[in-house]
Amino acid sequence: MIITIDGPAGSGKSTAARVLAERLGFQFLDTGAMYRVVTLVCQREQIELSRQAIVAARAESIHIQFDGHKVLADGVDVTDAIRTVDVTQGTHFVAVNHTVRELLGTLQRRAASGRDIVTEGRDQGTVVFPEAECKFFLTASPEERARRRQHDLERRGEHLSLSEILAQQTARDRRDEERAVAPLKPSPVAIRIDTSHRSVEDVVGQLEGVVRQRIPIC
């Protein structure tokens, strides 16, 4: 059984997806982390992110693993390293790389094969798992999303002004929505939820209610 949660950065999808997966006893897949790993590895190896063929070749040889809350690249813990502003800024080059998208899509389908899974990203309900039993699209107001991002960065010791974050976020949204391959858009059958001013508990409660209604076995 596959539950997809797509939406823009800061919509609260990662937290909601993780908690929902725990409650249902499903696996959780953070597909954004995979794009981040490819970005980080290339940046560390000084591979120019715009050189699509070289990036794709390197991506093919990276061993990406999830171990609870940890993310490993070729056996090295990169959980925090993939969340920096630098990596975040670089991910859009990787996200428009058609070959990398195909590769990561294949890995995502393999991770879901024969499992119950909650998977989150930008294209999970549209491109990677069009057959998913339950699809959600989470949003929140730009200001709220920027505040969440600022809070996240502060916890990691990075301090950016709200206006700077908003500007970066607007640019990322535009790139995510306008790219030719797998743009960020809700599946026509996705349930749309605005998470602005709502607690994680409240949002997850709603998601869980929908899933249990749709999939009585849960």
Contact residues for ligand DC, defined by CB under 6 A: 9, 31-32, 35-36, 91-92, 95, 121-124, 176
Identity of the residue, 178 or 212, whose beta carbon is nearer to ligand DC in the bound complex: 178
Identity of the residue, 26 or 119, whose beta carbon is nearer to ligand DC in the bound complex: 119
Q: Length of the chain in residues, anyone?
A: 218
Identity of the residue, 18 or 92, whose beta carbon is nearer to ligand DC in the bound complex: 92
Token output for 166:
């908003």
Separation CA 209–CA 97 (nearest Å): 36
Query: Within 10 Å of residue 57's Cβ, how many Cβ atoms?
Result: 13
CB of 109 to ligand DC, least distance (A): 12
Task: Please enumerate in sequence order all residues whose Cβ is within 8 A of that of 215, keeping only pairs 6 or more positions apart, or say none.
Answer: 1, 133, 134
Identity of the residue, 11 or 207, whose beta carbon is nearer to ligand DC in the bound complex: 11
Identity of the residue, 144 or 176, whose beta carbon is nearer to ligand DC in the bound complex: 176
CB of 213 to ligand DC, least distance (A): 26
Identity of the residue, 107 or 191, whose beta carbon is nearer to ligand DC in the bound complex: 107
CB of 49 to ligand DC, least distance (A): 11
CB of 19 to ligand DC, least distance (A): 16
Distances (CA, A) of 84 to 3, 125, 145: 28, 27, 17
CB of 25 to ligand DC, least distance (A): 23
Q: Where are the alpha helices (DSSP H) in the chain?
A: 13-24, 31-44, 52-61, 85-95, 98-112, 142-155, 162-178, 200-214
Separation CA 154–CA 149 (nearest Å): 9
Start-to-end CA distance of the chain, whole Å, equals: 10
CB of 2 to ligand DC, least distance (A): 14
Q: What does the DSSP 8-state code read for residue 122?
A: S
Token output for 152:
């996240």
